[in-house]
């Protein structure tokens, strides 16, 4: 691949795998303001022969290898010499690629129009970083949540509800939970491993597909109003996950897994509370902790 400068470090094209991020960690009833590393996720739009072709949402390290490998996987090139030039535009988050001789598959792909690919689960949909999702409104404040013990209980219940995952080990699971008055839930309800008050539980090989199934359920049923819902999720909290949750009006996204940087940026902008690493007596609140009654110095009952 000729004329191929190294992708520069830039806020739109960071060079690395993670960055330091402040958060509130709750452990055994005590909250602590700390800084931890969060996996980087950033958009990179590939401009192929002058046309916008695809946007990758990925960890932005080794971008030159990512671009060449993606071109080969899509059947655009068969050899590095098929690419005559790559120009990196760090300010706009773009890579301008020149391929003098496109394969028939590549020409067909250009006719389809732009696409968005996520970091781990195949084709997603255009994310908030694109004009097509600028209509996603911030999630209303809603009732909030004060009993933090519900968060690990939800995660445990999600694991108990995921029968297909237990059988296969290869599915993502999503549950939709209402943010109701906590005082109305008795201890038996809090201990319930499967029926935990979830409105719906759906699984799929793709985490985005599982979220779409929940969205379809909401369209077919009378889901609570925006701001009164929580998404309990089995995977990483990436940008596309947050956008899909916000479209549902979910105020909380709760996961035992990690968030990404772009996911947190979008969650902050859309007023979504992200709670990750929910494991045992520990959880990490990254955005909008006020919805959980956090942010002050006093210990939280747990």
Q: Which residues are catalytic?
A: 121
The single-letter DSSP state of residue 123 is B
Yes or no: say if 29 and 300 are a contact pair by the CB < 8 Å rule.
Answer: yes
CA 301 remoteness from chain centre? 29
SS (H, E, C) 193-259: CCCCCCCEEEEECCHHHHHHHHHHHHHHCCCCCCCCEEEEECCCECHHHHHHHHHHCEEEEEECCCE
Yes or no: say if 40 and 60 are a contact pair by the CB < 8 Å rule.
Answer: yes
d(CA 44, CA 26): 34
CA 15 remoteness from chain centre? 20
d(CA 242, CA 263): 6
d(CA 74, CA 72): 5
């Amino acid at each position: 691949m000729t004329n191929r400068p190294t992708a520069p470090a830039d806020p739109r094209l960071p060079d690395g795998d993670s960055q330091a991020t402040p958060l509130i960690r709750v452990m055994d009833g005590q909250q602590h303001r700390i800084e931890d590393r969060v996996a980087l996720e950033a958009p990179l739009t590939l401009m192929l022969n002058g046309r916008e072709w695809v946007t990758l949402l990925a960890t932005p390290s080794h971008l030159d290898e990512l671009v060449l490998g993606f071109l080969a996987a899509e059947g655009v090139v068969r050899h590095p010499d098929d690419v005559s030039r790559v120009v990196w535009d760090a300010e706009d988050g773009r890579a301008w690629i020149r391929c003098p001789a496109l394969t028939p598959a590549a020409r067909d792909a250009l006719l389809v129009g732009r696409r968005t690919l996520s970091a781990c689960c195949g084709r997603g949909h255009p994310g908030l970083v694109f004009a097509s999702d600028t209509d996603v409104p911030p999630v209303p404040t809603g009732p909030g949540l004060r009993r933090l013990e519900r968060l690990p209980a939800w995660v445990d219940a999600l694991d108990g509800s995921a029968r297909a995952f237990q059988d296969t080990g290869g599915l993502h699971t999503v549950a939709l939970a209402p943010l109701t008055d906590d005082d109305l839930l008795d201890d038996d309800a809090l201990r319930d491993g499967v029926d935990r008050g979830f409105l719906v539980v759906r699984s799929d090989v793709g985490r985005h597909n599982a979220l779409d199934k929940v969205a379809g359920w909401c369209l077919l049923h009378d889901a609570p109003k925006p701001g009164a819902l929580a998404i309990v999720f089995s995977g990483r909290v990436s940008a596309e996950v947050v956008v899909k949750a916000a479209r549902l009006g979910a105020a909380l996204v709760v996961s035992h897994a990690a968030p990404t940087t772009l996911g947190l940026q979008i969650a902050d902008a859309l007023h979504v509370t992200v709670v990750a690493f929910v494991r045992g007596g520990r959880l990490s609140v990254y955005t909008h902790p006020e919805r959980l009654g956090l942010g002050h110095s006093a210990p939280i009952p747990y």
